[in-house]
Structure 1
Amino acid sequence: MKKESWISRLAFFVNKVLAILTFLAYILPFLAPKLFPFLSVLTLLLPLFLIVNFIFFIVWVLQLKRKALLSGFVLLIGITFINKLYRFSETNEKAESNDFTLMSYNVRLFNKYEWLPNKKVPSDISDVIQNYNPDILCLQEYTPNENVRLRNFPFKNIELEGNKNKYGQAIFSKYEIINTGEIDFPNSSNNVIFADIVKFKDTIRVYSMHLQSIKISTDIHEKLDENKSKFIFMRISEAFKEQQLQSELIKAHYDSCKYPKIICGDLNNSAFSYVYRNIKGEMNDAFEEAGSGFGKSYNFKYYPARIDYVFVEDIFKVKEFQTNNQVKLSDHFPVITRLEIVEKESKK
């Protein structure tokens, strides 16, 4: 019998370590981050774990080795996680007269502090919004700007804070808004706002959320020494604990709402996190219903970071969903979905 090479043995050892970490990441969404704040960071790496497991699986299969069973089993167990990572087919059903579109977009203060060299960001974002012409528009990291043209929305809810430099969130609607409100987070400038919107004979509640940021640089080439890496790790852990409290406040609020609900915005966390699972609850993720590809919504180099979401209750049928990662006017990309209000029995 031919002796196995040291490279093959080392590769399988790495494969086994990866399998353990992947299983651990599978469990973490069911555990509150405040219990294991450092381990919770692994949920951010789950997409990478799944991709590398798939690579190991293919390598071992091509070599006709039973080692493929390990990664194969890991991928089989995590099939529901794979659907959150990547969707192979896109849904785009025929538009009907009673459909409506919703856009959610973290506009990064319309480039107020010139992170991008483009001086026309506010007007360019206006053009993007005008081209999509959504019926409901939710903007996170919003700030008033004279170059932003949003004339097609007669109804709005804007919640700002700050004195000289005001910022916050905004919901714009073509349909009548009959009630508005806000969920404040303790010791945080982040929040959630909502609007009760009347569409024909239906009243729906739309929440726009912006949870605690984990403040990871989008520049993957940024030099990281050991001390800085530890600091970032601890900062992410603390942000996850803050997000847990924020998600519980959101859930308690929407549980008391009698209207059909849509929750959208910047979660600042992955679809594999406790926070995602807690806020989503029994609702549907519009990307999983009708999206395609990785659904990348945050402009992080070489990594498919999906942190902007649209969650809808069963009364809404998701007929189309897209993330436009060609619009590079913020550190986020706009997400757009087309919905129809239907009865539960006829949703299929």
Structure 2
Amino acid sequence: MQQESWISKIAFFFNKVLALLTILAYILPFLAPKLFPFLSVLTLLMPLFIILNFIFFMIWVLQLKKKAFLSAVVLLIGFTFISKFYKFSETNLPESSHEFKLMSFNVRLFNLYEWLPEKNIPEQITDVIQDYNPDILCLQEYSPNDAVRLRNFPYKHIVLHGNRNKYGQAIYSKFEIVNTGEITFPNSSNNVIFADIVNQKDTVRVYSMHLQSIKISTDIHERLDENKSKFIFKRISNAFKEQQLQSELMKAHYDSCRYAKIVCGDMNNSAFSYVYRNIKDNMNDTFEEAGTGFGKSYNFKFYPARIDYIFVNDNIKVKDFRTNDQVKLSDHFPLMTRLEFKRD
């Protein structure tokens, strides 16, 4: 019998550690972050874990080794998680007179503090919105700006906070808004706003959310300069605990809603988290229903981060879903979907 090389032994040791971490990450969405806040950070790494398990699986298969069974089992257990990470095919159903289009976009205050060097970011964002021409538009990190031209929406609900520079969220609609409101979060400038919108004979409640940020820079050099990985992990775990409370307040609110629901916006967390599972509940993720690729919604270098979502009730058909990672006018990318109420 041929003796196993030390390289193979070391590789399989890391394979076993990876398998353990992946299984743990599978369990964490079912556990409240306040119970294990530090471990909850692992949910952000789930896509990387899945990719690495697949690489180990292929390495052992090509060598015809039984070690491949370990990663194969891990991948099979987490099969339902894969569609949250990557979609191989998309849905694009024909247009109809009954459908409506919704767009959700964290616009980062229309570049108020000049994070981007271009001077006409508000005008460019306006052009993107007009090109897609949504019937309902939800904007997170909204700030009043005279250069933003949204005149084709007769109805709107805008909630602003702050003193010198106002910021908040906005819902614009081509359909009548008959009721509005806000869900405030304790000790936080983040919030959720909602509007009850009448489209023909149907009334839908649209929630626009902006949950607590984990405050991780998109600049890799800035992260390295901090040189304090423990501090970063602690900051993320604290944010996850706040997001747990925010998601529970939000769910308690919309559980009492008698209308069909659409929940969209910036969750600041992955699709493998407790917060995602809690807010989504029994609704459908429009990316999983009709998207393709990674569904990347946040401009994070080297990593396909999906932290913005559109969820809909089961009585709403998802006909199309897109993100546009070529629109680099914010640190987020716009989400766009075509929807239609199911008829009996």
TM-score of the aligned structures, taking structure 2 as reference length: 0.99
Displacement after TM superposition at 1:163 (Å): 1.4
Q: Which residue of 2 aligns with 1:169?
A: 169
Output the CA distance in 1 between the equivalents of 2:227 and 2:186. Answer: 29
Q: Which residue of 2 aligns with 1:19?
A: 19
**In the alignment, structure 1 residue 255 sits paired with structure 2 residue 252:** no
Q: Which residue of 2 aligns with 1:84?
A: 84
The one-letter amino acid of 1:89's match is S
Output the CA distance in 1 between the equivalents of 2:173 and 2:103. Answer: 11
Paired positions, count:
344
Q: Which residue of 2 aligns with 1:143?
A: 143
Describe the SS at the equivalent of 2:224. Answer: coil
Output the CA distance in 1 between the equivalents of 2:234 and 2:212. Answer: 14
Output the CA distance in 2 between the equivalents of 1:209 and 1:120. Answer: 26
Output the CA distance in 2 between the equivalents of 1:292 and 1:58. Answer: 24
Q: Which residue of 2 aligns with 1:204?
A: 204
Output the CA distance in 2 between the equivalents of 1:167 and 1:298. Answer: 20
Q: Which residue of 2 aligns with 1:111?
A: 111
Q: Which residue of 1 aligns with 2:326?
A: 326
The one-letter amino acid of 2:119's match is K
Q: Kindly provide the CA deviation profile for residues 188-235 of structure 1, in whole angstroms up to 9, marking residues without a partner as x.
A: 000000000000011100000000000001112335368621111101
Output the CA distance in 2 between the equivalents of 1:315 and 1:337. Answer: 15
Q: Which residue of 1 aligns with 2:218?
A: 218
Displacement after TM superposition at 1:259 (Å): 0.4
| Matching of residues 148-163 of structure 1 within 5 Å | 148-163=148-163
| Matching of residues 21-100 of structure 1 within 5 Å | 21-100=21-100
The one-letter amino acid of 1:259's match is Y
User: CA contact under 8 A between 2:286 and 2:318: conserved in structure 1?
Assistant: yes
Q: Which residue of 2 aligns with 1:294?
A: 294
User: CA contact under 8 A between 2:176 and 2:199: conserved in structure 1?
Assistant: yes
In structure 2, do the counterparts of structure 1 residues 152 and 225 end up closer, same or farther at CA, with 3 Å as the change threshold? Answer: closer
Q: Which residue of 1 aligns with 2:336?
A: 336
Cα RMSD over matched residues? 1.0
Gaps of 5+ in 2: none
Output the CA distance in 2 between the equivalents of 1:185 and 1:131. Answer: 34
Displacement after TM superposition at 1:175 (Å): 0.3
Output the CA distance in 1 between the equivalents of 2:226 and 2:122. Answer: 38
Gaps of 5+ in 1: none
| Matching of residues 220-299 of structure 1 within 5 Å | 220-222=220-222, 224=224, 228-299=228-299
Q: Kindly provide the CA deviation profile for residues 281-311 of structure 1, in whole angstroms up to 9, marking residues without a partner as x.
A: 0000000000000100000011010000000
Displacement after TM superposition at 1:321 (Å): 0.2
Instruction: State the 4+ residue runs in structure 1 displaced beyond 6 angstroms.
Output: none
Describe the SS at the equivalent of 1:275. Answer: helix
Q: Kindly provide the CA deviation profile for residues 161-196 of structure 1, in whole angstroms up to 9, marking residues without a partner as x.
A: 011100000000000000000000000000000000
Output the CA distance in 1 between the equivalents of 2:14 and 2:287. Answer: 32
In structure 2, do the counterparts of structure 1 residues 62 and 110 end up closer, same or farther at CA, with 3 Å as the change threshold? Answer: same
Output the CA distance in 1 between the equivalents of 2:53 and 2:225. Answer: 28
Q: Which residue of 1 aligns with 2:187?
A: 187
Displacement after TM superposition at 1:56 (Å): 0.7
Describe the SS at the equivalent of 1:186. Answer: coil
In structure 2, do the counterparts of structure 1 residues 99 and 238 end up closer, same or farther at CA, with 3 Å as the change threshold? Answer: same
Output the CA distance in 1 between the equivalents of 2:294 and 2:226. Answer: 31
